[in-house]
């Protein structure tokens, strides 16, 4: 699944996003491209669950 996260702007943001996804699914793969503000997640969780967790962490996805 792919998300665009406009609020993501630095390494700290990327770390929080990665930690948030891995708190849902420790085996998840998280690939972050800060330049394009895109996050690609491979997880056993569904997209709405991951999106809700990201929003709760302060990084709402589009």
Q: Which domains does the chain have, with CATH numbers?
A: 2-56 (3.30.70.100)
Name the pLDDT band for 35 (thresholds 50, 70, 90): very high
Residues contacting residue 59 through CB under 8 Å, at least 6 positions apart: 5, 7, 8, 13, 16, 17, 20
Supply the mean pLDDT for the chain.
96
d(CA 61, CA 1): 11
d(CA 60, CA 2): 13
Percent of the chain at pLDDT exceeding 70: 100
Predicted model pTM = 0.93
Residues contacting residue 16 through CB under 8 Å, at least 6 positions apart: 57, 58, 59
The string of pLDDT tens digits covering residues 15-33 is 999 999 999 999 999 999 9
């Amino acid at each position: 699944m792919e998300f665009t996260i406009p609020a993501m702007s630095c390494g700290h943001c990327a770390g929080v996003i990665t930690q948030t996804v891995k708190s849902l699914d420790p085996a998840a793969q998280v690939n972050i491209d800060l330049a394009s503000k895109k996050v690609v997640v491979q997880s056993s969780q569904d997209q709405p669950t991951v999106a809700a967790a990201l929003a709760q962490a302060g990084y709402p996805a589009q």
